[in-house]
Amino acid sequence: MAEAHQAVAFQFAVTDEGVLLHVDKSAVQSALSALFHLIYTRYYRIKTSFLKGIFPATPLSLLVVTGGVFVLYAIGYDPSYGVLSLLSTIPRFFGIPISVWNTVTLLAQSTIIWTSLCYIQRYTLRALLLYKGWMFDKRGTRSFKTKVWAVLVKLVAGTSSPLLGSYQKSIPLLPVPRLDDTCSRYLKSVRPLLNDEEYEEKKRLVEEFKKGPGNKLQFYVTLKSWTSTNYVTDWWEKYVYHGWRGSVMINSNYYATDQMGIPISTNQAARAGLYTHLAMKMKSEIENETLTPLIIMNLIPLCSYQYKRLFGTCRIPGKEQDHLSISSPAESRHIVAHRNGKWYKIPAYHKNRLLSGAEIQWQLQQIIDDDSKPTNPGDQYIAALTTAERPFWAEIRETHFSKGTNRENMEAIEKAAFLLCLDDSTPKKADPVDSSEVLSKYCNDLIHGQGYKFWFDKSFSTIFYKNAVLGSNAEHSWGDAPIIGHLLEYCSAAEYEI
């Protein structure tokens, strides 16, 4: 009951002397701190949504437009084109001073004009980003057409610092190719695989498809493209990735290597602690939308949708279809580490403060120094279940991990920001003349982890070898390699700055 007493901020008792009131200052401070944090979070979320909603325009442009409308009215020009005169009877009917009514009307008019300009600016930028000629310019040079286009993009995009999701509504929609183009590309792709007789049969089937259901399906796809930014995404995720019933290891997951230069540290716990701190810092920047989006040539923004699923995401196996479990920011404030068959849940925050690299290093060092054997030897290979075929893994998960301690442990892994493996092996240094064999062994370990080092359903797992070399294995359905690459470059760059 001690915990319950500590949670009570106010206590009172009725005695013969009256009512005695006891105030727990620490509980009151905690409650107020939580309240202020909630208010600030809601305010910041509203502010962020507003800034993303008006991008590439800025709040300053609203002041400029409003000022311009009022100046025009002051010099005798009616910017409403007679609307103010038509509505002049309304304030008299309700007894509103005409000066107040005119001010409100001009503010409303300024807002309408500014909103219209915001949409014009946004869709102009979207139209400019449809240009693909820059891809065909020679490296290091730009054609005159590309130079003109680049100037226009800079002018329309403005000079404001974009948030992570600012460009999302300005990125062009994925175009639907013509039916004839789709069919001809299909035939071109299968031609090397078929002999002449098989190819002629395939051509006949394609013609039947074009004359039959092809046009109807093309119409449906076109309708879908009008209501989504990418008409392929949900189908691709559902049927190509989550519909796959085989093992995700090797077949779907991919790996990312450490930088090939001189490592900044050879201390396993030190580098893993700093990496964890920096990764969680990036997680916070993604949640707050302060992470700078990827922009090619400082002109072409890339979609940032997948960043939201980088941390705290896990693929959940199903007998017929998998799905993604995406934890909230509050649920994924920890990581899970494993070493020598033992699993650890490591907090990355103390209250609302992100732990430093040194503080996380201290926790990891205790894990590395623990030479005790696991209670259950099979725990070392528990992650091998994620390499199994999906229906089998789904049945095992439902049977053995749906209740009790096993369920709690499973939730800790699935809701963790990411998984950390502290390995005892040491990759050999690459030979300066021929490093292919050494790198092959290193990459082989990252792609399969001997079948049990990685939790292959996690959005990504990172391994740190004894000499502090790192590598990552990533599940593919939530996102693509540029996101993991951005994470590793973010951490590597920050390592040299600290």
Active-site residue set: 476
In 3-state terms, what secondary structure has residue 346?
strand
Buried/exposed 141-175: b ≥16 CB within 10 Å, e otherwise: eeeeebeebbeebeebbbebebbbbbbbbbbeeee
Phi first, then psi: give them for residue 86, nearest 5 degrees.
-65, -30
Which residue, 345, 294, 324, 339, is CA-closest to 464?
Answer: 339
Helix (H) or strand (E) holding 91: helix 89-94
The span from the CA of 456 to the CA of 227, in Å, is 33
- 10 Å CB burial of residue 498 (0-12, 13-18, 19+) is exposed
Going through 327-438 in order, the beta strands assigned E by DSSP cover: 334-339, 342-347, 349-350, 353-354, 419-422
Q: How far apart are CA 193 and CA 184, in angstroms?
A: 15
| C-alpha 171, offset from chain centre | 16
Residue 392: beta bridge partners?
none
Cβ(459)–Cβ(311) under 8 Å?
yes
- Is cis: bond before 56, omega within 30 of 0? yes
160 in Cβ contact with 55 (< 8 Å): yes
Helix (H) or strand (E) holding 221: helix 215-226
The continuous run of DSSP H or E covering 393 comes out as helix 390-400
Which residues make Cβ contacts (< 8 Å) with residue 133, sequence separation at least 6?
A: 143, 145, 146, 149
> Taking Cα atoms as reference points, which of 244, 376, 218 lies closest to residue 318?
244
